[in-house]
Amino acid sequence: MFSLALLTAFAPAPQAGQQPAADDIEARLRALEADRDRISAELEAAMDALADAEVDVAPASEVDEQKKAAWEALASRNLAPRASAVYSADGLSFGGYGEFLGEATRNKSGDDFDALRWVMYFGSRFSDDWIFNSEIEIEHGTTGATSATTDSAGSVSVEFAYLDHLLTDSVALRGGVVLVPLGFINERHEPTTFLASARPETEKRIIPSTWRSTGIGGYGQFGDFAWTGYAINGLNGEEFDANGVRGGRQKANRASIDTVALTGRLDYIAIPGVTLGASIFHGNSGVNTPEDLGTTIWDLHGEWNEGPWTVRGLYAASDIDDTAAFNARTGANLAERMRGWYLEAGYDLFSFIDAPAGQSLDAFVRYEDLDTQAQMASGFSASGGTVDTFTTMGLNYRPLDQVVLKTDYTVLDEGDDVYRFLIGYAF
């Protein structure tokens, strides 16, 4: 019936009073069937060609996945988990973390509950070889002051913002606002990556975390070692004081490049769960001073994660030149050498019970010893309040990977004891 319909549609209309011959109808039908077979064969050939083309494209897709895996392996060495999410994403990526910190001291001075940090990550994979990544942070919930002084004012800052280029599967280049690769906290400061509510004082005063600078450089891996190296803007020594170098951060705000510093990091990573390494920063800090203030900051660090155990230790020191002339001119009483160290250990108490999967409850203790005036220039003496020890004990509960609840108590040798609790998240 279908062939007859086609024949009726395309055959010339018979003359009035004339019927088409049966032989003519049969011949036309055979011709249409032949055309059908020819078209079907051409369509099958075209589909076979398309399938062959898809096979040819497959290796390119595999190369993309190989590059993505290379990005992930390299970036995870020097960024926290959520900060490195863009390296495993396709196209745009966003994430973030936050910390709400409550503090109470023994003498009731400065007790507060603070929206300490609200952070967003934004990034984009432009191609297989180019990635943009950034972190924007709001501190203390507002940029306005909440008292008669501006000391309590919050801030909005670009913590990092850079372009990465994958040069090879083991080497990447980076330029923009970068995190200085010293210590543990400066590059990996999401609240789910360390145990206590507060960051170690050594990694605030001697390694002034979070420490960011404009710079260019790269990172990568060779054999059993991961490395990072940058040329960055130096510190502003005019803001150094007896309590450390923290005030000298230029924060990428029209940072002076009258002094260019070099910084690098090397970690041994061959043993699963173990990191052993060292990092260093060196450059003049005499941005607005007649003194050069040559500054070297270095650290030795180690970490072990195995089963329920988490152990971390760090020693850091800074050496500064020309402090005698600087102190005579400013009265800052800046030290030639500062040093600090801490050792921290945690144990997951849920390892004793059949806890829900993905949950942990770490009991931990951290002991820290800090001296920001360990060695003074000739003719100058250490001032009070620059030597202290901190013993912190507490609990770190993670109901799931993205959420952490912390509570701890810190005993100070020379100051008021502090109780803290923290609500943190990262996504």
Angle at 213 between CA 248 and CA 277, to 5 degrees: 95
When mean pLDDT is compared across 60-64, 120-124, 213-217, 294-298, the lowest value belongs to 60-64
Give whichever of 42-56, 59-73, 123-137 has the largest mean pLDDT.
123-137
pLDDT over 90, % of the chain = 67
Q: Dump the DSSP string for 48-93.
A: HHHHHHHHHHHHHHHHHHHHHHHHHHHHTTTS-TTTTGGGGSSSEE
Residues 194-231: b if buried by 16+ CB within 10 A, e if exposed: bbbbbbbbbbbbbbbbbbbbbbebbbbbeeeebbbbbb
What pLDDT score does 53 carry?
56
- C-alpha atoms less than 13 angstroms from C-alpha of 248 in its C-beta half-sphere: 30
Of the pLDDT bands very low, low, confident and very high (cuts 50, 70, 90), residue 107 is: confident
Closest CA to 260 of 224, 227, 214: 214
Long-range pairs, 250-256, Cβ under 8 A, ≥24: 250/213, 250/287, 251/157, 251/212, 252/158, 252/177, 252/212, 252/213, 252/214, 255/213, 255/214, 256/287, 256/288
Q: Which domains does the chain have, with CATH numbers?
A: 174-426 (2.40.160.10)
The tens digit of pLDDT for each residue in 358-399 reads 899 999 999 999 999 999 999 999 887 788 899 999 999 999
Q: Which tokens in the block code for residue 310?
A: 């988490």
Q: Which helix (H) or strand (E) holds 172?
A: strand 171-179
What phi and psi values does residue 235 have, to the nearest 5 degrees? -80, 160
What pLDDT score does 21 carry?
63
Closest CA to 95 of 128, 134, 125, 143: 134
Q: Is-contact 394 410, C-beta < 8 A?
A: no
The tens digit of pLDDT for each residue in 273-303 reads 999 999 999 999 998 889 999 999 999 999 9
Say which amino acid occupies 228.
T
| Residue showing tokens 């670009």 | 158
pLDDT beyond 50 at 220: yes
Closest CA to 198 of 274, 279, 268, 116: 116
What pLDDT score does 59 carry?
46
What pLDDT score does 368 carry?
98
Closest CA to 335 of 343, 345, 344, 324: 324
Mean pLDDT of the chain: 88
Q: Is this structure's pTM higher than 0.85?
A: no
Of the pLDDT bands very low, low, confident and very high (cuts 50, 70, 90), residue 216 is: very high
Of the pLDDT bands very low, low, confident and very high (cuts 50, 70, 90), residue 58 is: very low
What pLDDT score does 38 carry?
76
Closest CA to 400 of 366, 355, 360: 360
The crossing angle, in degrees rounded to 10, of helices 2-10 and 22-75 is 110
pLDDT beyond 80 at 231: yes
Of the pLDDT bands very low, low, confident and very high (cuts 50, 70, 90), residue 146 is: low
| Residue showing tokens 């043993």 | 271
What pLDDT score does 64 carry?
73
Q: Which helix (H) or strand (E) holds 323?
A: helix 323-330
Q: Is-contact 98 424, C-beta < 8 A?
A: yes
DSSP-derived 3-state class of residue 368: strand
260-268 and 225-233 beta bridge pairing = antiparallel
What pLDDT score does 387 carry?
85
Q: Which residues pair with 93 in a beta bridge?
A: 123
The tens digit of pLDDT for each residue in 331-355 reads 999 999 999 999 999 999 999 998 8
- C-alpha atoms less than 13 angstroms from C-alpha of 256 in its C-beta half-sphere: 16
What pLDDT score does 66 carry?
80
